[in-house]
Amino acid sequence: MMARLAGRIALVTGGGQGVGRGIALALAAEGASVVISGRTETTLKDTAREIAERGGRVRTVVGDVGDRDDVEHMVAETVREFGGLHVLVNNAQSSVQRPLAETSYDDLQLTYRSGPLATFHAMQAALPHLKAGRGSVVNLGSSAAVQGEATFAAYAMAKEAIRGLTRVAAREWGPYGIRVNVVCPAALSPAAEDFLAAHPDKAERVLAGIPLGRMGDPEQDIGRAVAALVSDDMAYLTGATLMLEGGRTLLG
C-alpha cells in the first residue's frame, strides 16, 4: 500500500521534542517530506536523525516562532528544500502556569507571541503554497484551555485564541480547498513525564480523570491522528476541534 502522505511536504514547528516530535515522526512514516523547526538545534538534529534512520526525508530549521522573520524563514526554507508546502502544523508554544491574580502582562505577551501570533504569522506566510497544493493546517489547542483549568490563565487565553483563528480560517480558506483544524492533545511528553514524576499525587489524579486510563503517546496516539487528519481520509473535515485526550474533557 502507498503511504497516505506520499508526495506531501510538511512543516512542524516545535518539532524537535514532545508532541511536535511525535507528529513529525508520524507524518514521515506516512510518506511526507518533513521540515522541523525549533529553537534548540540539538533536539532538532536528534529527531531528524531518527526520521532519516527510518527512511524518511527531513530537514531542520532553527528559529523562534515568536519572531515573525524567523517564521517566514521557516516557511521559505521548507519551500526551498522540498519545492512546496502542503501541511502546516503549528505546535510550538511557550507556557506559563500561575494563578490568575498573579498573571502578568509579560506572561500574556510570552504566550500570545509564541501561540496565536506565531500561528497567525505562519498561516499567512504559508497561504500561497497551501493554495497551490490545496493543503491542510493543524493548530494545537489544549484541553486545559477547553476545561478552564486553574493556574493556566495566560496559556488558556492563547490556546483559545488559536481556536478562534482556526474557525475563521476554515471559513475564509475553504473555497481554496484548504482545511484548517485544531487538535487538543494530552500526551506524555518529556515535560509531562518530569512533572508527573515530581508530583505523584497529581499524576494519580490526572490519570483517574482520563477514561482510557493513560496519557497519550506523542507519536502513536497524537502523531498518527494528525497524519490521518491531514490525509485525504479526512478531506471533508474543517474548522473542527479534535480532542485527543483519552476522554478527559467529557462532560457529565
Residues with a catalytic annotation lie at 155
For 32, phi then psi, to 5°, come to -75, 145
β-bridge mates for residue 106, sequence order: none
Q: Where are the alpha helices (DSSP H) in the chain?
A: 18-29, 41-53, 68-82, 105-114, 116-133, 143-147, 153-173, 190-198, 200-208, 224-230
Burial class (CB in 10 A: 0-12, 13-18, 19+), 84: middle
Burial state string for 124-151 with b = 16 or more CB within 10 A and e = fewer than 16: ebbbebbeebebbbbbbbbbbbbbeeee
**What sign does the CA torsion over 42, 28, 72, 122 have?**
negative
d(CA 140, CA 92): 8
Burial class (CB in 10 A: 0-12, 13-18, 19+), 37: buried
